[in-house]
Amino acid sequence: MKNMNETRERLRGIFNITVTPFNSQGNIDFAALQENIERVIGLGYDGILIGGTYGEFPTLSVEERRELFTRVMSIVGDRVPVMLCSASSDPRVVRELTILAGELGGLPMVTPPFVTEITDAQIISFFEEMAPLSPTGILIYNAPGIGITLSPAQLEKLADIDGVVGIKQGDLTPTVVDQIANRLGGKVRLFCASDLVFNGPMLAGFDGISTTNSGALPELILATYRAVEQGDAHTARDLHSLWYSYRALARQHGQPQLVKAAMALRGFNGGAVRAPLKPISDSALAALREVMNTLAQDPRSGVTLA
């Protein structure tokens, strides 16, 4: 992507949140990362998101994040849009990574500063500083899990900032989704931040979703999304129901831990998680194996096991 107009045009659809695979020495496994990227692009995903919350960015050094951005953009080129998470509690890091992401042709994804006692005015000032740094614009990630939840009224003000091309919405309360879709739809691109409950936001008028569990279930989640996109609510409902038991485990044991374990069961190399995260327990793995076996027996899922 070269500029904000091209970014807006291409910023829609289903984006795989690519996990960051770590090898046994704790380093990023770039060969595995490339395999996982090529898999989802080959299946027809509309874009990818790199180094996000489920990409374990808080555990990565600034140097690792620079290399991650550069390597990924070299792999992907201009084949699909790439969101590059430049979030940090340190605005100096956000500035550096936002500039780099835009220079590389990616779309920087920026969260509010996750510090205490910050005011609404200071949040707006922060995004006013970051938005002009990237020629492709920025994507604001409203991520309640990180610490600050932006209200619909705040998001409406932020959407007026030049350079803000989209919002990835993590607060998926139905009334909030309804307000955002109707106040901001058509003004900026709207992305649902969770594949666990994306049907509602898409039907409300969102432009796309980002999905972590598509690392493990890429065929099933893609088919579900395409059904929603085509207005086939009946098929979308049935496909989404197929992986309810998986979603229950994901909510219980956490992402990306479960995603990486499920990827391994399929013969995909998701690698290890990095501390403070830990691999899922033996009992959780046994439950996951049972769920994946059940999915593999249903041809609609597309799941095959190693």
Q: Which two tokens stand for residue 249?
A: 């485990």
Rg of the chain taking only CA atoms, in angstroms: 18
**Annotated active-site residue in 141, 225, 246, 260:** 141
> Which ranges constitute the DSSP H helices of the chain?
4-10, 30-43, 62-76, 91-103, 120-130, 152-158, 174-184, 199-204, 218-229, 233-242, 244-253, 257-265, 282-296
Residues facing residue 47 across a β-bridge: 15
Return the SS3 of 113: coil
Q: Which two tokens stand for residue 72?
A: 């990924």
State how far the Cα of 260 lies from the Cα of 240, in Å rounded to an integer: 20
Write down the residue that tokens 């931040």 correspond to. 193
State how far the Cα of 214 lies from the Cα of 226, in Å rounded to an integer: 13
Cβ–Cβ under 8 Å, residues 263 and 215: yes
State how far the Cα of 10 lies from the Cα of 153, in Å rounded to an integer: 26
**Annotated active-site residue in 168, 225, 246, 260:** 168
For this structure, is 2 an active site residue?
no
Between the alpha carbon of residue 87 and those of residues 98, 109, 110, the distances in Å are 8, 7, 5
Residue 251 one-letter amino acid: R
Residue 255 Ramachandran class (φ > 0 left, ψ -120 to 50 alpha, else beta): beta
Cβ–Cβ under 8 Å, residues 47 and 210: no
Active site residues: 141, 168
